[in-house]
């Protein structure tokens, strides 16, 4: 079976600093794949490199069996979309929700824009009454729903999710995670999701990669992580840290 996403020895360098060191992974179509590791381990850099937003200095990336060139073209954004952590920063403050959703449709030459916008807002549980609001007139959770609608509106097959709920309150976080699960099931999407929260990744993902200092530490199934069947001390220390955090929370 062709992988949805195939990454081979990907390397990213910011000047002298190598942030990603020959990382490889395969994500199957319809799979939900997690990236975990301490702050600065290279999780966001990996997603950003796939999206063409980081300085790649080596390696190969294929999407649905097709190798990507140095620049991401329009066809890439039809297949792969990214949702960022910060729904405040990722939505233009002077554009209405309608305008924000229309922009990608215009760029990609869709004509049935009205129907697509209404459908996208329904799909993320907002409805058409939100169309003419500005982002400052929305709660954090509503903003992230708009960001998800914007990512889905071109009907991609892969979503890259960079801490999509970590800026939200715990109850809103659960709602947005449920929404993401629903749309993944309904659209048979492939997810690659960064989270510092092991419980979120265990719940949302089938498999995951543990990262440290820009490298893979180990690949695990979420079931093995939940059962503490891990091979590396570093992963054990992440688990212990997250359990300590939960106990004291």
Note the residues at the interface with ligand ATP (CB under 6 A): 14, 17, 19, 37, 39-45, 196
For residue 44, the minimal CB distance to ligand ATP (Å) is 3
| Letter string b/e over residues 211-245, b meaning 16 or more CB atoms within 10 A of that residue's CB | bbebbbbbebebebbeeeebeeebbeebbeebeee
Q: Which is nearer to ligand ATP, 50 or 153 (CB)?
A: 50
For residue 195, the minimal CB distance to ligand ATP (Å) is 9
For residue 20, the minimal CB distance to ligand ATP (Å) is 8
For residue 8, the minimal CB distance to ligand ATP (Å) is 19
Q: Which is nearer to ligand ATP, 37 or 141 (CB)?
A: 37
Q: Which is nearer to ligand ATP, 45 or 173 (CB)?
A: 45
Q: Which is nearer to ligand ATP, 52 or 104 (CB)?
A: 52
> β-strand 17-27 against 207-212: which pairing, if any?
unpaired
What does the alpha-carbon distance between residue 193 and residue 131 come to, in Å, rounded to a whole number? 28
Here the tokens at position 164 are: 């999509």
């Amino acid at each position: 079976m062709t992988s949805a996403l195939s990454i081979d020895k990907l390397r990213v360098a910011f000047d002298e600093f190598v942030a990603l060191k020959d990382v490889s992974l395969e994500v199957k179509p319809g799979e939900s794949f997690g990236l975990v590791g301490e702050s600065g381990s290279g999780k966001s850099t990996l997603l950003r490199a796939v999206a063409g937003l980081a300085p790649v200095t080596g390696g190969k990336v294929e999407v649905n069996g097709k190798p990507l060139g140095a620049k991401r073209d329009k066809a890439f954004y039809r297949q792969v979309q990214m949702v960022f952590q910060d729904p405040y920063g990722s939505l233009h403050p002077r554009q209405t929700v309608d305008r924000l959703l229309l922009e990608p449709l215009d760029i990609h030459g869709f004509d049935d824009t009205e129907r697509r916008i209404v459908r996208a807002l329904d799909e993320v549980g907002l409805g058409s009454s939100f169309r003419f609001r500005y982002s400052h007139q929305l709660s954090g959770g509503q903003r992230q729903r708009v960001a998800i609608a914007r990512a889905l509106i071109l009907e991609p097959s892969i979503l890259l999710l960079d801490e999509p709920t970590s800026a939200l309150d715990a109850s809103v976080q659960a709602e947005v995670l449920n929404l993401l699960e629903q749309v993944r099931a309904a659209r048979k999407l492939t997810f690659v999701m960064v989270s510092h929260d092991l419980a979120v990744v265990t719940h949302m993902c089938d498999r995951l990669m543990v990262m440290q200092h820009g490298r893979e530490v180990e690949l695990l199934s979420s079931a093995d992580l939940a059962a503490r069947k891990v091979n590396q001390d570093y992963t054990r220390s992440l688990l212990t840290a997250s359990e300590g955090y939960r106990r004291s929370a």
